Amino acid sequence: MRLFNFFKNKGKSKPAKKVKKEKPSDHELAFAQVILNIIGPTVEKHDFVLHNKEIKKYSTTIIWRKKKQYVKVNSTTYPRDYPYHYNIIVGEGNSDDFLEYDWNSVAIWALARVTNPEIDVASYNFPYDEQQVKPSVEIAHKHLLTYGMTFLNGDLTIFNEARKMINKDREPYKIHSLGKYGKYETTDEPKSVEQKKKYS
């Protein structure tokens, strides 16, 4: 459950600070290149087109889109996110707005569990060892072909079932804000309430 803090700004807002562009780490660069070489041709063969590629010091996000469908690969090696991992994600709808894509998508492991509840597929350990990048991504690619092929072909039946399975027990995000009587209140974030109803 995510908790957002919202505070009312008094007076004029300060000008936005310029965000310094991160230099990608060698680990993330190597990972992204293998993803593009192995996952890219498969999804592009099914008419998905590269939509976004963002490689940072501690993360990689690569997205391909086909109309409303999308395939996303994201990794995190942020120190606070240990154990470091990555996922192949499939979704339908907005792939750029967090409050949308966090509800309209599922990881490949969710498709696997719908297909076979006994299957042992989860997030993938991020391959820090350069020699392990290709073997790791090849396993993820195999899972995409095994459990995500119907999605790639435009059949969303298993995908919709997996998305409903994931979202039905989730709570909407929470907003913690100062109420009109000077006390902090926690309420459901409206957009996530809407998304839960839509995708559960």
Residue type, 127: P
Q: Which two tokens stand for residue 200?
A: 């559960």
Instruction: Compute the distance between CA of residue 58 and CA of residue 156 in angstroms, rounded to an integer.
Output: 32
From the CB of residue 136, how many other CB atoms can be counted at a distance below 10 Å?
Answer: 17
Do residues 60 and 88 make contact, with C-beta atoms less than 8 angstroms apart? no
Instruction: Compute the distance between CA of residue 176 and CA of residue 178 in angstroms, rounded to an integer.
Output: 7
Q: Give residue 193's pLDDT.
A: 66
The model's confidence at residue 98, banded by pLDDT at 50, 70 and 90, is: confident
The percentage of residues in the chain with a pLDDT greater than 90, rounded to a whole number, is 67
Average pLDDT score over residue span 28-52: 98
Instruction: Say how many CA atoms lie within 13 Å of 54 toward its Cβ.
Output: 13
Q: Which two tokens stand for residue 96?
A: 């750029």
Note the pTM of the prediction, 2 decimals.
0.83
Q: Which two tokens stand for residue 92?
A: 């339908």
Q: Reduced to 3 states, what is the DSSP secondary structure of residue 74? A: strand
Taking only the tens place, the pLDDT of each residue in 143-200 is 999 999 999 999 999 999 999 999 988 777 677 777 777 778 776 676 676 776 767 7
54 beta partners: 61
